[in-house]
Structure formats: C-alpha cells, structure tokens
A and B are shown apart, each in its own frame.
Chain A
Amino acid sequence: MGSRVNQLAVGTGVHAFAVFTAMWALLVISIGGLVTSKGVGMSVPDWPTTYGYNMFFFPVRLWEGGIFHEHLHRLVASALGLWTVILAAWITAVRADRSVRLLGWAAVVAVVIQGLLGGKRVLLNSVDVLGIPGSVFFGVLHAMLAQLFFALLCTIALMTGRGWKQLVAKVAEAPPGRGWIYLMLVAGVILQLAVAASMRHQHAGLAIPDFPLAYGRVLPPTDPSFLDQVNQRRLGVVDDAPITAFQVWLQMGHRGLAVLLVGLVGFLAFASPHEPRVWRLSIRWLSALFGIQFCLGAATIWSNKAADIATAHVATGASILAGCFVMAFARFSGERQRKKRFQPCPKSSCLLKSPAEPAGGQLV
C-alpha cells in the first residue's frame, strides 16, 4: 500500500490537484489578508447571503469599494471548500495511505470550520467572547486556522507527490534527534502568527511607526502621557483605534520573536553539514523565505502599513508556516522510519548483527 499511493497518485493527477488546492488556499489567504489590510471586512453585513442575495448570484454591478474584496474572498473561499472535498474524495478513491486519507478528511473538517468562523466573524462582530471583542476573537481564530489549513494542504500535496518516499528515506539517514528543533520552529512560527493576527485584527494601525528603532529608541516609552501625545498626532485616512501600551509591547514581541526565528532558521541552514543534500537545500530555501519575510515586515512599517505590502507579509507568513510544518512532518516521518529499521527483537531471532548496529537492533 505504501508505494501504491505514489503510483496511483501521480498517475491520476491527485498530486497536481493537491498542489492546485494548496495554491488556491494561498490565494484565499491573500484576498482575506487584503480584506483585513483595507479594513473592509464588514462591508457585507450579512452572511451567508450577500446583501440578501444568494452569494453566488450577487450582481457584479454591486461589487464596489470594499464589497469587491469581501465578496471575492467569500467566493474563492467557497470554491476552496469544494476543491478540498474533491481532493479528500480523490485521495480516498485512489486508496492512498491511511495517513494521507486522514489528512484529506481533516482538511475537509478544517475548511468547514473555517467557513463557519468567517461567517461568525461577520455576524458576531460586536459580541464579546471571553472579554475579547468578537471582531478580534473570531478574526484571529479565522486567520490562524487559515494558515494551519494551508500548511495541512501543503503537507498533503507533498505526501501525494513522487518525491515524498525518497525524501523520508533520505531524512531517515540524517543525524537523529533534531526533530524537536523543527517542532520548536513550528511552535515559534505559530506563536508569531498569533501575535501578528492579534495586531492586525485590533485595527489600531501601527502601534510603533518606525523601524528598527521604536519611537527613536531601543525600548519605546509607554507611559500614559506619551501615548496620549502619540494618539493626538495619529491622523490617518482610516480612523484607527487609539494605541495602547499593550499594543506597543505586542509589536515589540513580534519584532523580538522575528529575530529569534530568523536566528534559529539561520543556524539550521548553516550548521547542518551532515544533513542530506535535499534537506540542506530545503532549509536554505526556507531561510531565504524568512529573510524576505523580515524585509516585508520592515517594509510594512516604512510604508505605513500599505495594504499590498502588509498582505504580502501575511502570505509569506503562511508560506513560512507551511514550509516549517512540512519539514517538521518529514523529519518525524524520517525518524519514524529509522526507528522501524532498528526494531528491537528477541535475542533468539536476531540472526544478523554487525558492530555498526545498535545493540538489540535489527535491520528490517
């Protein structure tokens, strides 16, 4: 069954369709990011209808201003739901590995929850949840799940691809015990995305308008009189909420975490001479993506949060999470395969032994 997935998947085009679905998800994330960047999420007040129309029959002549972005987001997201169901059904039909089938149907569950969260974001915009405004609570959840969902689709795309088995086999030969670093990287990126989503969905604009310094200092002042002064002088075209000390420190946390993550991925890129070549290349691509993301973060501030740049920052963040996620997944799959190779066996059945093998291990 293990090799069957590759033959069937490639043969039937399920891998190509998985890649297409993942790319479509990135498109949905980008348009969603643009909706938040432009502050037009509430331009369509109803859901699942659009201004009382069936969403799919909303007249194009009414797609004006912010409605264009919000309605387009809904339509491409609906299509994504359909693609995800087709993908899961296709994976099941070609009798792929159990793990791939499970991931396929997990994606279906995720896309349904994501759709509902998007709707709740609109309908419960002003309802407080756990003391947090609904707009922020549901907005952050919706943003986070979108990124995790994209990572899941990328994993499926990788697992249905021709190179997956070879990659795992290569990783199985890599130095053991580094899986936890990749797990830490994934956890760090998820935390970073949570902080970023929280910053964006509070719609308070830039809590710190300069970079690399913060209000001209290494550590920004956050006393009430200083913040009063800042808020008095923030005159935006869009009416951003006044900033608070919490938001200033949130952005500082985002900056600090970014430096840590770039450092960690840089370490992995240049301190892995014994890793397989494909792995070294992958980690270098990933670190390049981190570098681009860092520059986009700086550009977001320097451009006073221009919608297109801020959205590119969101899309790159999603790509980074997906990259880290699939690498961690491949790492653990490789480690699992290595452990399988050296399964412990009873002494009587250990027919083959060599000095290179661990004690009690058997190559299977």
Chain B
Amino acid sequence: MKQLIHLAALVAGSASVLAGDVTGIVTLKGTPPAEKPIAPLAADPNCGKAAKGPVNTRHYVVGSGGGLGNVFVYVKGGLEGKKFEAPATKAVIDQVACLYEPYMIGAQAGQAVEIRNSDAFLHNVNFMKSEAGNTTFNFAQGAGAKPVEKTFVNQEVFAKLQCNVHPWMFGYVGVSATPYFAVTDKDGKFTLKGLPAGKYTVAFKHLKAGEVTQELEVKDSGAEVKATLEVK
C-alpha cells in the first residue's frame, strides 16, 4: 500500500513538471505602410560612416509568408501566484551603427539585461519606466565603454531604450514576469520553451499592430499556435 501511495505521488509530481514547447507563427493581416529611410542617420557624420548602405525604419518586419517579426509572445494568464527564479544568463542588446541590435529582445523580470555599445562613438541610453517598481535610467556609453547591466524588476511590455544623441535610435525589451516568453523572428516564428502542461492565456503584442490574446491548452507534448494581428 505504502509503495502504491509513493507511486501515485510520483506520477502526480511528474505530471506537474511535465512540460512541452509551444511553437507557433504570428502573421500580419493587411498591408502595413511602407517603412521610411532614416535620413538623419545617413546625414550624421559618425552614423553615416558606420552604416552599411541605406537604413530604413523597422516598425513592421514582415516575412515572405506574411509572418510578423518582433512580436513579443508571453504568458499573460494561467501562472498567477507562481514565482520564478530569474535566470543567470544575460539578455543582450547592442548598439551598432546607430541602431539597436536586435531591435527587440525579451527578458524575464529580475534577469540582467546587458547593454553594449559596439560603436566607436558615444550614445546615451535613456529608459523611462511605465511600470511601478522598475527604475528609470539615462546613462552615457562612450566608445569602448564596458557593457552596462540593468535589471527590470517587474514585467514591462515594452521597455523602450532610447538614444537622445541620435533620436532615431530606439530599441525595446519585452520584460515578462515568467520565463515563458519569446520574440518572433523575421518570419513570425517563435518557441515558448518548457511551458508546463495546463491552460493559459498567451498574449502576442506588437508595437504598432497591437495585442491579441489566445486561450491555449498545453499538453505534455507541447502545443502549436497560430495568431494573427491586423493592420487596419
């Protein structure tokens, strides 16, 4: 009997830690406006030299199949009350040729975000919080300066990093309260890794196209999702 109870406990325990990957694609319905050339970048003596060819804005990155890049995918409901340790790995965003690279990254609340400057000249990195608990910062990062680590304590979708020396230069950090988040690639594809089996509300948020949510049931084998954002 005792062995049976142990076995039942083991099964129950294992069920709660069984987890799968959620993979999917976010597509854009409708035709977005054309991106614009960043004329001031080309005109700037430093940035113009550093740029490799013409540079356009990156508001809508749409793949050949209609997949939408730079969508922040995160679990919005279903994990309430649970606490998650921040990972030891760092999320990295760089400043290259007067642009943030990548344009958007994801990070977990409490995780260190490393901000680099690979340019041979100065940028300032200005962040204004929109969520209580997070700390606003504005610091200078000169040529060859060491990377700076910043931490967002609370979820913030999106934390905008802005250079005011070069005002066309901005990038984003999608900060999630849980470890289950992703940023879609240029074809709109993403993977939420290791999401435990259960029912969730998953949000798909884009800076311009807005946000949609989907109810999702994740099984041990994971799940597949398709979401659509619309530009009207």
**Which residues of A are at the interface with B, using a C-beta cutoff of 8 A?**
38-45, 51, 62, 64-67, 70, 125-126, 133, 135, 225, 228-229, 231-233, 235-239
Contact = CB atoms under 8 A, between A and B. Distances in A.
Given A228-B232, A229-B232, A237-B168, A42 B124 contact: yes
B190 interface: no
A217 to B, nearest CB: 18
A42 B39 CA distance: 21
A45 B167 contact: no
B186 interface: no
A43 B165 contact: yes
A231 B60 CA distance: 13
Contacts of B46: 64-65
Name, among A41, A64, A65, A133, the residue most crowded by chain B CB atoms within 10 Å (CB to CB).
Answer: A65
Contacts of B60: 235
A45 B38 contact: no
Interface string B53-84: 00001011000000000000000000000000
B129 A126 contact: yes
A42 B138 contact: yes
Contacts of A135: 128
Q: Which 4 A-B pairs have the closest CB atoms?
A: A43-B164, A65-B165, A126-B136, A45-B138
Given A228-B232, A237-B39, A126 B165 contact: no
Contacts of A44: 124
Contacts of B215: none
Given A42-B126, A44-B124, 18 more contacts: A38-B167, A40-B164, A43-B124, A45-B138, A64-B165, A65-B47, A65-B166, A66-B164, A66-B166, A67-B165, A125-B136, A126-B128, A231-B208, A232-B208, A233-B32, A233-B33, A235-B57, A237-B38
A45 B34 CA distance: 34
Nearest to A135: B128
Given A64-B122, A232-B231, A40 B136 contact: no
B11 to A, nearest CB: 48
B208 A235 contact: yes
B160 interface: yes
Contacts of A228: 210, 232
Nearest to A52: B140
Interface in B77-117: none
Given A45-B140, A64-B46, A237-B57, A125 B128 contact: yes
Interface in B157-179: 160, 162-168, 170
A136 to B, nearest CB: 11
Given A64-B46, A228-B210, A229-B232, A237 B36 contact: yes
Contacts of A229: 232
B51 to A, nearest CB: 14
Interface string B37-52: 0111000111100000
Contacts of B40: 237
Contacts of A231: 208
Contacts of A237: 36, 38-40, 57, 168
Contact of B167 (A125, A126, A238): A238
A239 B165 contact: no
Nearest to A203: B167
Contact of A64 (B38, B121, B160): B121
B168 A62 contact: no
Given A228-B210, A235-B35, A239-B160, A66 B126 contact: no
21 contacts: A39-B164, A42-B124, A42-B138, A42-B164, A43-B164, A45-B126, A65-B165, A66-B167, A126-B129, A126-B136, A229-B232, A232-B208, A235-B59, A235-B60, A237-B36, A237-B38, A237-B40, A237-B57, A238-B168, A239-B160, A239-B170
A65 B46 CA distance: 9
A200 to B, nearest CB: 14
Nearest to B232: A229
A189 to B, nearest CB: 30
Contacts of B209: 232
Nearest to A40: B164
A67 B140 CA distance: 11
Interface string B210-223: 10000000000000
A135 to B, nearest CB: 8
A232 B140 CA distance: 32
Contact of B122 (A39, A62, A238): A62
A80 B11 CA distance: 78
A44 B163 CA distance: 10
Nearest to B168: A237
Name, among B32, B46, B59, B138, the residue most crowded by chain A CB atoms within 10 Å (CB to CB).
Answer: B138
A43 B162 CA distance: 10
Contacts of B33: 233, 235
B44 A235 contact: no
Contacts of A41: 164
A238 B170 CA distance: 8
B119 to A, nearest CB: 11
Nearest to A123: B138
A306 B162 CA distance: 20
A45 B141 CA distance: 11
A50 to B, nearest CB: 10
Nearest to A242: B208
A39 B170 CA distance: 12
B124 A45 contact: yes
B55 to A, nearest CB: 10
B143 to A, nearest CB: 11
